[in-house]
Amino acid sequence: MYDRTNHPKMNQLSSFFFSSRRLPSTTWLVTGIQTCELRIQEIFGQTRHPMIGDHPLKVTLLSPAHRPIQVTTDIPGFWTGSYADVRKDMRAQYPKHPWPEDPTQADPTLRAKPRKR
């Protein structure tokens, strides 16, 4: 990895926020690919994939425990493809967190489900 502040494309992502209204921290790899890591609940509601110029941002989706569960350069394709399997596995492992059937319509969150009183 190398210092991303001097990369010519760095400012192209500076205005892109995910549905959670958070600008993720990104890392430039030596290959020139920019990556970011986000918990999967933070990108609920995301219907397009972030681009850096003509290149898609490589997004590592994390579990609520911040463990990698999927790496993608196509978030809409992930929602329609492998999300159903990820949802099934994660619902069993993290029942206190939201796992909507249609994540494109869900609100992004950083929290678990509220406790029942």
Model pLDDT, residue 87: 95
Model pLDDT, residue 5: 47
Residue 85 falls within a domain, yes or no?
yes
| Contact by Cβ (8 Å): 40, 110 | no
Model pLDDT, residue 57: 85
Residue 88 falls within a domain, yes or no?
yes
pTM: 0.74
Residue 12 falls within a domain, yes or no?
no
User: Which residues constitute the domain of residue 80?
Assistant: 68-111
- Pick out the chain residues at pLDDT < 70: 1-32, 114-117
Strand positions, DSSP E, 16-77: 26-28, 34-39, 51-52, 55-56, 58-62, 68-72
Q: Per the structure, how many domains does the chain have?
A: 1
